[in-house]
């Protein structure tokens, strides 16, 4: 059975963080401004990913510990609390999976999306407006910048 750290390759990300931190502490680091900014951006992204993973990993450990105590003590209330927490935890793991999925070189580039109502008159325009609001909410919940 694989651990989540194996799937998310956290050890490799920690190695990359150490490498980028070492690179950023060199005297010649700021000689190329653009490269320095890209390095710091990558470093920040990696740190956020690792911190998010560690937070979720701690929550999982806490729930496992609570579960073991609840089973030993036959505490039904705690079991219900754990049952309530699991969907939220699953949502967080899915969010990190999504972030890691968008971890390639070009994934931080901009995108242009346009929505055009068809030839349906007012209903078509209403539908296009609803679709736009739906996409905007989705993008905002995932912390994308929208103009």
* Lowest mean pLDDT across 56-65, 76-85, 103-112: 103-112
134 and 98 in a common domain: no
Note down the domain range covering 29: 4-109
pLDDT at position 18, please? Answer: 95
CATH number of the CATH domain containing 104: 1.20.58.410
pLDDT-based confidence at residue 136 (cuts at 50, 70, 90): very high
Residue 53: Cβ-neighbour burial (10 angstroms; 0-12, 13-18, 19+): buried
Q: How many domains does the chain have?
A: 2
* Six-digit token string for 116: 């055009």
Q: Average pLDDT in the 109-120 region?
A: 86
Residue 137: how many other CB atoms lie within 10 Å: 11
Residue 86 CA: distances (Å) to CA of 76, 91, 93, 119, 141: 16, 9, 10, 45, 20
Q: Average pLDDT in the 16-37 region?
A: 91
């Amino acid at each position: 059975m694989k651990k989540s750290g194996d799937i998310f390759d956290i050890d490799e990300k920690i190695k990359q963080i150490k490498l980028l931190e070492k690179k950023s502490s060199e005297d010649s680091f700021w000689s190329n401004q653009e490269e320095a900014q890209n390095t710091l951006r990558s470093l920040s992204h990696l740190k956020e990913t690792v911190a998010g993973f560690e937070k979720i990993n701690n929550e999982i450990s806490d729930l496992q510990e609570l579960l073991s105590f609840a089973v030993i003590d036959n505490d039904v209330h705690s079991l219900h609390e754990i049952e309530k927490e699991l969907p939220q935890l699953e949502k967080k793991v899915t969010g990190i999976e999504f972030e890691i999925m968008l971890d390639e070189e070009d994934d931080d580039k901009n995108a242009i999306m346009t929505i055009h109502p068809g030839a349906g008159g007012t209903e078509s325009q209403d539908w296009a407006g609803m679709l736009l609001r739906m996409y905007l909410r989705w993008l905002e919940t995932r912390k994308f910048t929208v103009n």
